[in-house]
A = this chain, B = another copy of it.
C-alpha cells in the first residue's frame, strides 16, 4: 500500500482551500469539503491554522506577500530609472496590474486559480476578509497613488484615485472570469481558444486601462 503520509499537509490544505474558495466562495466551502478533497483529517485545519478564518487569511498571505513585494520592487526600479523624473503612467499601470496578471502563467504562485479567487474576493461581503485585504494592500496602494499623482500632475488627485478604483474593478472582474453574463460564450469571432484568450487578455486589458486613465476629464454639469 503506497501509504503516502505527510507530504506537507499544510501545503495540500492551502492548495485545496484556494481552489474551493475560488469555486464556491468562503461561506460556500466547508471544512469537510476542504479536508476530504485534500485527503487530510478534518481536525488538520484547526491544528495547522487554528480556524477557518485564519486558513483563508493564510491562503491569501501566501500569494499576496510576494505579489505586493514584487510590485514595490518594480516601482522602485522604475523610479530609479526615471532619475527624479515622473514615471510614465502606462509603466505604473503595468507595474501594478501587469505584475498581477502575469501571475496567471506562474503555477507556483497560484496561477489563474488564485487570480480568480482574488478577483472574486475583492467584492466579497464578509467583513473580516475586506478588513484583511485592506490591511495587506494599504501601503502598496499608497505608493502607487503617489506615483500616479506625480505622473499626471495636470489631473486632479481625486480623479486619479477614482480611476484607480475603476481600473481595479475592470481587472478584478476580468480575472474573476465568472462569465456571469455569458458575455463571451456562443460567439465565434476569430476562433480564439482559451489559451490564446489568456495570452491576449493582458494587452487587451492594458489598452483599456490606459485609455480609461487618460480619458478626458468629466464635466460636472
Q: Which A residues lie at the B interface, using CB under 8 A?
A: 22-25, 27-28, 119-120, 122-126, 130, 133-134, 137-138, 141, 156-159, 161-174, 176, 178-184, 187, 189-190, 192, 199-201, 203-221
What are 21 A-B contacts defined by CB distance under 8 Å? A23-B125, A24-B126, A25-B126, A120-B123, A120-B124, A120-B125, A123-B123, A124-B178, A124-B180, A130-B179, A134-B180, A157-B190, A164-B183, A165-B173, A166-B174, A167-B170, A168-B183, A203-B218, A203-B219, A207-B215, A207-B216
Q: Which of B22, B137, B156 is within 8 Å of A189, CB to CB? A: B156
CA A27 – CA B21 in complex, angstroms?
13
- Give the number of copies in the complex: 2
CA A171 – CA B23 in complex, angstroms?
23
Q: Which residue of B lies closest to A27 (CB)?
A: B27
- Which 7 residue pairs across A and B have the least CB separation, nearest first? A211-B215, A169-B173, A27-B27, A203-B218, A25-B125, A212-B212, A207-B218
With A134-B180, A170-B169, A184-B165 in contact, do A210 and B203 touch (Cβ < 8 Å)?
no
**Does the CB pair A204–B162 fall under 8 Å?**
yes
**Does the CB pair B173–A122 fall under 8 Å?**
yes
The residues of B that contact A124 with a CB separation of less than 8 Å are 25, 120, 178, 180
